[in-house]
Amino acid sequence: MPLVGVTIYKFDDNFMSFVRRAIETNAEDKAKLILNDSQNDQAKQNEQVEMMISKGVDSLAINLVDPQAASTIIEKAKNEDIPLVFFNKEPSKEDMTSYDKCWFVGTDTPAAAIIQGEVIVKSWKEHPEWDKNGDGVIQYVMLKGEPGHPDAEARTTYSIKTVEENGIETEELEIQTGMWDTVKAKDIVDAWYAKHGDAIEFVICNNDAMALGAIASLKAEGYFTGDKIMPIVGVDAIPDAIVQIEEGTMVGSVLNDATNQGYAAVDLAANVALGKDPIDGTNWNLDDTKAVRVPYVAITKENIQVAKDCYGK
Ligand code: BGC
Ligand code: CA
């Protein structure tokens, strides 16, 4: 079996822990792994890559800490002619084309935001009472992921764009990065609630981990009991969020298929390690940016099983 060097940008990212599990499962009969926690430190990740190269890895599968650091990793791999698969954090086009033996596994980035926007539109139309001040405008707060992360940037922009394109006006009361993190998100929403109170009509989150923080904050303010409702949406459809959707605490999420992204990363890395075509013997497709893009799916109470099946694999 080929030796594949893997880094995860940090093990304690909720969503990435599911991608990691899928990587380990799929590797069982395909590759021997060296698996590193980069602990959210790009310098550390650079060292890990050097260490793995010195151990003779046949390919690399890298979840960057900083999407802008792709060129540093590419240079190291290129010097030793080692094929490289990035996953989850997409490098720039320029970086991707700078090395022929480099591929990406992720998603169609803006799609999540468009789907999230559609979930917002549909639910808002179904619940006229959510427009608490009755002005027809959604007064929302936005918890953004890591700035500069293509997923965070796209989700922030396209979610609102989609709502507005559907003829619903919006007003941004607050936006701040919660760095994909539950605890940070809770603190931020605590502060926003202290400032705006019931003027907040929707909490839009770039991922579920932050949505969980928002729920924790608002629960402490007496929300989600009786008729005190606050619509919250996220992205990922991780198991903890699925529970919230089932209980009606969260309106919906967007399935970010951790399992298939982890599987695809290993399939590609194992193939290229053996000098094969990246998608040889698989069902994946590469687009014209050398990327496998696993589709997103809207998740609400009605189709919750789809998310359960994905994360249950
Ligand atoms: C996920 C986030 C995760 C991030 C890590 C995103 O695609 O939606 O939950 O924290 O990737 O890079
Ligand atoms: Ca309103």
133 Cα: distance to centroid of ligand 1 (angstroms) = 33
Counting ligands in written order, the one closest to the CA of 130 is 2
Domain 110-255 - what CATH class?
alpha beta
Counting ligands in written order, the one closest to the CA of 179 is 1
- Report how far residue 265's alpha carbon sits from residue 258's, in angstroms, rounded to the nearest whole number: 11
Q: Write down the pTM of the prediction.
A: 0.96
Task: Give the distance, in angstroms, between the CA of residue 278 and the centroid of all CA atoms in the same chain.
Answer: 23
Ligand 1, closest atom to CA 206? 8
| CATH architecture classification, 3-106+257-294 | 3-Layer(aba) Sandwich (3.40)
- Report how far residue 59's alpha carbon sits from residue 69's, in angstroms, rounded to the nearest whole number: 18
163-172 confidence digits (pLDDT tens): 999 999 999 9
pLDDT of res. 30: 97
pLDDT of res. 313: 67
Residue 14 pLDDT > 90, yes or no? yes
| Average pLDDT over every residue of 75-90 | 98
Q: Who's near 164: CB < 8 A, 6+ residues apart? A: 170
Nearest residue by C-alpha to atom 11 in ligand 1: 88
| Average pLDDT over every residue of 188-194 | 98
Could you give phi then psi for residue 155, rounded to 5 degrees?
Answer: -65, -40
Residue 46 pLDDT > 70, yes or no? yes
pLDDT band at 312 (very low <50, low <70, confident <90, very high): confident
Q: How far is CA 151 from CA 30, 91, 147, 255, 291, in A?
A: 29, 11, 9, 14, 15
| Average pLDDT over every residue of 75-86 | 98
Q: Where in the chain is the domain with CATH 3.40.50.2300?
A: 3-106+257-294, 110-255
Pocket of ligand 1 (CB under 6 A): 13, 15-16, 88-89, 149, 151, 180, 207, 209, 235-236, 256
CB 42 within 8 A of CB 69: yes
85-142 confidence digits (pLDDT tens): 999 999 999 999 999 999 999 999 999 999 999 999 999 999 999 999 999 999 999 9
Q: How far is CA 193 from CA 198, 230, 265, 297, in A?
A: 8, 11, 40, 30
296 Cα: distance to centroid of ligand 2 (angstroms) = 29
| Average pLDDT over every residue of 280-295 | 97
Q: Who's near 275: CB < 8 A, 6+ residues apart? A: none
